[in-house]
Amino acid sequence: MKEILLCKYGEIVLKGANKNFFETKLCAQLKHKSKAHGEFEVTRAQSTVYIEPLTDDCDIDGMMADACKVFGIVSVARAAVCEKNIDSICAMARTYLPDKLAGKKTFKVEAKRADKRFPLDSMEIAAEVGAAVLEAVPGIRVDVHNPEVTVRVEVRETNAFVHPGPVKAAGGMPVGTNGRGMLLLSGGIDSPVAGYMMAKRGMTIEAIHFESAPYTSQMALDKVLRLAQIVSEYNNDEIIVHVVSLTHIQEELVKAVEEDYFTLLLRRYMMAIADIAADKCGCCALITGESLGQVASQTAEAMAVTNPLANRPVFRPCVGLDKEEIVEVARKIGTFETSIEPYEDCCTVFTPRHPRTRPELAKVLEQENRLDFKPLVDEAVAGMYRVVIRPGKPWTTR
């Protein structure tokens, strides 16, 4: 019995004359994913990507799991392939579906006749296949309103396909179709979620992480790189993390500025450094995990005094989400358990007791002018190094 994966996409169908660009990116990413699971052929037609195993030793389960993580795909179905005639379709339903419907009490059949030359219409196909299922699966009954399983039959140009329904996939747009973004990646819950959300909109993600050794440990850095490794699965299997030391800047801030301005000024340094890194990498935007009002440095006024340090848009995809909503996404993508590991973070070093929540830019600048801003930024950028992260592989430093 021959099986195939049917990958359906959503927004791409609305792209008109640009549709081919998005489809090509999508197929390239699925081909890349397939290399880990055997020899597959990836083709596309009628707003569907077909992933066909070419040898018996292909890992179709692993390929299906990876296909569900590719942005641009809204659903994936593992389907049996048969000839385009009703006898073959019904025979396949009797053979293929009983195992898939084991333990189920109700079902219905939905048919799609993409090839309008097929002699039966969709309702007639559904009726024939429904009768075949009733014959092959003892005790099951039809429920067209609230079935446990919806069996799908698709009659397409070359073949017909039978399957017990698709599973939900990542959705969004293919990575690489909407520019590059520089993610300010901490060890917390929010920033990995922000990176995932922008990758879902088609943005290729790079990351910058700020450490404060010796106040932060190697274990804290390793935690961040493990978070990046999880997110890389959604970013075409790679993220480059730019690691920058903030230690000298923080030590100078502690000596020179009033305590309640410390966090704001540190954020301005971080934005300035991230902006320079973005320039070097061709990133058109910065990305942060900020959520409005979540902490003192994430008020509207605080964001207003950090934004001017960026010479490009600052995307904050979590800005309107509450913590519970962010945690829900973190659990879904697999970053939550790593994010809550209790290692220190540069933002928790020298934390002021009463940080400013309603800062005025003029007063912030007065504090900032107590230090030589540009030389400190240049020094931090000069010490920056890159770590290349890929799923399931040791990371490499450049």
Average pLDDT of span 233-260: 95
| pLDDT band per the 50, 70, 90 thresholds, residue 280 | very high
Q: How far apart are CA 322 and CA 72, in angstroms?
A: 26
Q: Which tokens in the block code for residue 23? A: 């489809």
Average pLDDT of span 350-369: 86
The three-class DSSP label of residue 40 is strand
- The answer to whether the predicted template modeling score (pTM) of the entire model surpasses 0.85 is yes
Q: Which tokens in the block code for residue 43? A: 């083709």
Average pLDDT of span 16-29: 94
Q: What is the pLDDT of residues 83-94, one digit of tens each?
A: 999 999 999 999
Q: What is the pLDDT of residues 109-150, one digit of tens each?
A: 999 998 899 999 999 999 999 999 999 999 999 999 999 999
**SS3 per residue for 160-195:** EEEECCCEECCCCECCCCCCEEEEECCCCCHHHHHH
The mean pLDDT of the chain is 95
End-to-end alpha-carbon separation of the chain, Å? Answer: 48
Whether pLDDT at 334 is above 80? yes
Whether pLDDT at 285 is above 90? yes
